[in-house]
Amino acid sequence: MYLTIWGAAKQVTGSMHLLELADGYKILIDCGADFTADAYKPDYNPIPFEASEINLAILTHAHLDHSGNLPILVQRGFQGQILCTKPTAALTGLLLSDYASINKSKILSNPKVKKSAALVNSMIAAGMYLEKQVDEAMGRFVALAFNKTFEIRPGLSLTFYKAGHLLGAAMAVFEIVENGITKKIAFSGDLGRKNYPLLEDPEPLPQVDYLVCESTYGNRAHESNATPEEEIEKIITETCVEKAGRLIIPAFSIGRTQTLLYILNKINFKSKFGKIKVFADSPLAREGTKVYNTHHEYLNVEARSMYHNQGNIFDFDNLVDVFNFKESKAISNYSQPCVIVSSSGMITGGRIQHHIQRNINNPYCTILTIGYSAEGTPGAQLSPNSHSIRLNGKDIPVAAKIVKTDVFSGHADKNDLIHFVSNQNKTSLKQIFLVHGEEESMNSFQASLQELGYANVTIPEKGQRWEL
């Protein structure tokens, strides 16, 4: 068989890996959007192979850097099924629809569009899909359970193992028999952390011959030793009680917001913080929360038991669900101490932008960043030393306090990654391919694994192909 790494090569986004079996059967593992690519460039090609030749697609989890190009794959002639877990299918539907509506506004904001239907079609053909293309892709999803081996065809089976990271996130292990020889190859997808709120711990994998492993935090350990409960209580006390100010938290709508609301519920918010209100201000997050409630059987033991005792585990006294844009704007006039949780997490769009704009020069405000922000986004400009940030073309001075924490990070750190690989026997594991990390992180992770005795650790280039 052959493996080609078509994305997330020496970078974090754009996961896309192709397995070709000896008889030509082709399996695509993830089909993610590459956020470093410029969709307006003439040489932009989100699917760099013949889509109609792919027999089957596997999706490890819902994040767009793993799922975002699936509608383009279908649009370009992919006829097969897309296998993933149930929560992944539900969350992917939400994220792809949201992405399609962003594409729609981008297309409509192009002044030439009104005069030319052909231009709209060419933009869609280039990869700017709309709701119709999302519906076509979602029609191909087939859900599989964790830990149940599914025989795709004789000599080819697939098992999903729990990866933590996000509700429904899976590692995919293939067992392939070719010429009487059995080979196992695992794709880690994105690996989560142990004891992460809501989610079950990542599972150890069975022994495999080849491992395609993420390496986002291959060069660093998470710094915070506090629990999410301790961290959030401390910051709310400092901001809303001691200073009587407002705490603004930019948070991804899917995953991070649910974690935050769950933790605020778990600390019994009202009993600790009296009348302080928490505004949850993201329509997509509200839909994501419904999916988390619907698929509560995929949550960890603690969250499941809370669900059985109280139903919706993301709702609590003092939580205000903000529905429309007018209500969202009106929060600016609310003069009492409060917490605002809004998206997008990297402040690239959405309602968080006006909350930041209205409050960033308020010294009674704290902005807490809890997730990854890609280089060049407004979120990445926010650091405890920021004096100004550029938002929608304007430089805005920063008077608010900026606080960062990694306690909510959904990715395994260096130690977790090393522990994960260490479950594999050094001689039986023939080759490790590092993907989904910046080059610096991969180099460091490669060196750590080599020190441990894993001799064959490869950092692939985009499009590089191996015979396994």
- Residue 27, strand partner residues: 19, 56
Closest contact distance (angstroms) between CB of 349 and Zn ion is: 19
Stretch that binds Zn ion, among 108-116, 186-194, 229-237, 271-279 (CB under 5 A): 186-194
Residue selected from 10, 17, 26, 63 as contacting Zn ion according to rule CB under 5 A: 63
Closest contact distance (angstroms) between CB of 165 and Zn ion is: 6
# chain residues binding Zn ion, by CB under 5 A: 2
How far apart CA 450 and CA 457 sit, in angstroms, is: 7
How far apart CA 424 and CA 65 sit, in angstroms, is: 27
Tokens of 376: 């060049």
Contacts (CB under 5 A) with Zn ion, residues 215-274: none
277 part of the interface to Zn ion, by CB under 5 A: no
Closest contact distance (angstroms) between CB of 59 and Zn ion is: 11
Closest contact distance (angstroms) between CB of 89 and Zn ion is: 16
Tokens of 89: 């299918």
190 part of the interface to Zn ion, by CB under 5 A: yes
Choose between 167 and 339: whose C-beta lies nearer to Zn ion.
Answer: 167
CB atoms within 10 A of CB 344: 23
Stretch that binds Zn ion, among 185-193, 325-333, 414-422, 447-455 (CB under 5 A): 185-193
How far apart CA 322 and CA 106 sit, in angstroms, is: 25
C-beta of residue 175 within 8 angstroms of C-beta of residue 157: yes
How far apart CA 267 and CA 51 sit, in angstroms, is: 49
Rg, Å, the chain Cα set = 22
Choose between 192 and 245: whose C-beta lies nearer to Zn ion.
Answer: 192
Choose between 63 and 355: whose C-beta lies nearer to Zn ion.
Answer: 63
Per DSSP, helices labelled H in 36-157 are 64-67, 70-75, 86-108, 117-125, 131-138
287 part of the interface to Zn ion, by CB under 5 A: no
**Residues 6 or more apart whose Cβ sits within 8 Å of residue 309:** none
Stretch that binds Zn ion, among 56-64, 131-139, 286-294, 456-464 (CB under 5 A): 56-64
State the binding string over 161-180 for Zn ion (x if CB under 5 A, else -): --------------------
Enumerate binding residues for Zn ion (CB under 5 A): 63, 190
